[in-house]
Amino acid sequence: MNTEIVYSKTFNRHDNPNHPENAKRTDVMMDALLNSDLRNHVKIIDPIILPEDSLLSVHDVEMVFQIKAMSKLTEAWVDPDTYVCRHDFDTARLAAGGMVQLCNDVSSGLIDNGFALVRPPGHHATKNRSMGFCLFNNVSVAAKELIKNGKRVLIFDSDVHHGNGTQDIFYDSEKVLYQSFHLSPHFPGTGAIDEIGTKKGEGYTVNAPLPHKTGEKTIQQMMDEIFKPIAKQFKPDIILVSSGYDTHYSDQLGGLHVGIDYFGEMIRQLQEIQPKIVLTIEGGYNLDIIGNCFLSQISRLCDKPMFFEDNVPSSIETPLVVKTLKENLKPYWDL
């Protein structure tokens, strides 16, 4: 496998040590990779900065200018959750640019797959608002570029929080299939089971809100009966994954019961639908485990599966969510 990791130390310019979304996160993940044998099976490349114009294909000009202006200050906050550091207009464009270049390289067949290990994260950033630790929506900027080139894109969001921004950006589009499972009720409050898209995009948004302590068994049932069957019918040219390790049971901002190995297992299953796959990191805040979650996924990308000891606590199973979602989506897909 020809696997690339896009990464730069420059992302550490976006940092606030008192905030859960801080520079230690990617430090820990990169250290885990460099200390593993997987290091010999991947190529680590520098990101290329996204031109300002490309942001405007996804975000309003006012929002882009707001972040640009705040980036001139030493420290600024868009809202009580979301900080902006000096130079963040460049740092955030470097994150989005890294995701775009990786997607283009996988899409064109130059490489097999990849992981954009970039910060700040993106999936909460809507068309007109930075929020939820996210400045610009990295995965959406990349998806826009791909659909401009005639590609059909599946965005699979496995973060514990709903990717409200990504959903917002593609809610009326049939070119992007957005699938998410997430904890509910939880931040940001969106992603209800009946949010399924609008206009041409009706049926192309799939939300599985899961109660506290829901575990892998229900998530796997969701994969088998909803996510994978719909993805197969959609026939994506490429799969983008908004990967959040806050789905792990030990995460301080989470509440679902996923173990480390399941992060790799989800990738294995998605590869069966479309091997052209690019992951990017969204959340995941337990510094003791996110390194191994990252390795679990990288190991699947380069086809050298790794497994980890992990004591997943007992979970509740919620088959009713699967049943209801299936009923809601039957008018659009053969389920």
User: Residues 165, 191, 244, 259: which binds Zn ion (CB under 5 A)?
Assistant: 244
Q: Which is nearer to Zn ion, 195 or 251 (CB)?
A: 251
Is residue 124 among the annotated active site residues? yes
Interface with Zn ion by CB under 5 A: which range of 67-75, 217-225, 246-254, 294-302?
Answer: 246-254
Task: Give yes or no for residue 165 binding Zn ion (CB under 5 A).
Answer: no
Interface with Zn ion by CB under 5 A: which range of 240-248, 289-297, 302-310, 325-333?
Answer: 240-248
Q: How far apart are CA 299 and CA 67, in angstroms?
A: 36
Three-class secondary structure of residue 189 per DSSP = coil
Q: Which helix (H) or strand (E) holds 95?
A: helix 88-107
Instruction: Give the footprint of Zn ion on residues 275-294 (CB under 5 A).
Output: 283
Q: How far apart are CA 122 and CA 133, in angstroms?
A: 8
Residue 134: strand pairing partners: 131
User: Residues 15, 88, 157, 159: which binds Zn ion (CB under 5 A)?
Assistant: 159
Interface with Zn ion by CB under 5 A: which range of 17-25, 160-168, 175-183, 216-224?
Answer: 160-168
Q: Omega before 185 cis (within 30°)? A: yes
Task: Give yes or no for residue 246 binding Zn ion (CB under 5 A).
Answer: yes
Distance of closest approach, residue 199 Cβ to Zn ion, in angstroms: 28
DSSP-assigned letter for residue 226: I
Q: Which is nearer to Zn ion, 121 or 203 (CB)?
A: 121
Task: Give yes or no for residue 161 binding Zn ion (CB under 5 A).
Answer: yes
Contact between residue 125 and residue 95 where contact means Cβ atoms under 8 Å apart:
no
Interface with Zn ion by CB under 5 A: which range of 7-15, 237-245, 297-305, 312-320?
Answer: 237-245
Q: Which is nearer to Zn ion, 25 or 144 (CB)?
A: 25
Q: What one-character-per-residue DSSP string does 196-217 give?
A: ---GGGTT-EEEEEE-TTBBHH
Q: How far apart are CA 205 and CA 179, in angstroms?
A: 6
Distance of closest approach, residue 160 Cβ to Zn ion, in angstroms: 5
* Interface with Zn ion: number of residues (CB under 5 A): 5
Distance of closest approach, residue 282 Cβ to Zn ion, in angstroms: 6
Task: Give yes or no for residue 163 binding Zn ion (CB under 5 A).
Answer: no
Angle between helix axes 88-107 and 138-148 (nearest 10 degrees) is 40
Q: What is the largest CA-CA distance in the chain?
A: 53
Which residue's Cβ lies closest to Zn ion?
283
Q: Which residue has the tokens 């008018």?
A: 331
Amino acid at 163: G
Q: Which residue in the list 59, 124, 161, 162 is annotated as catalytic?
A: 124
| Number of other residues whose CB lies within 10 A of the CB of residue 57 | 13
Active site residues per annotation? 124
Which residues would be at the binding site for Zn ion (CB under 5 A)? 159, 161, 244, 246, 283
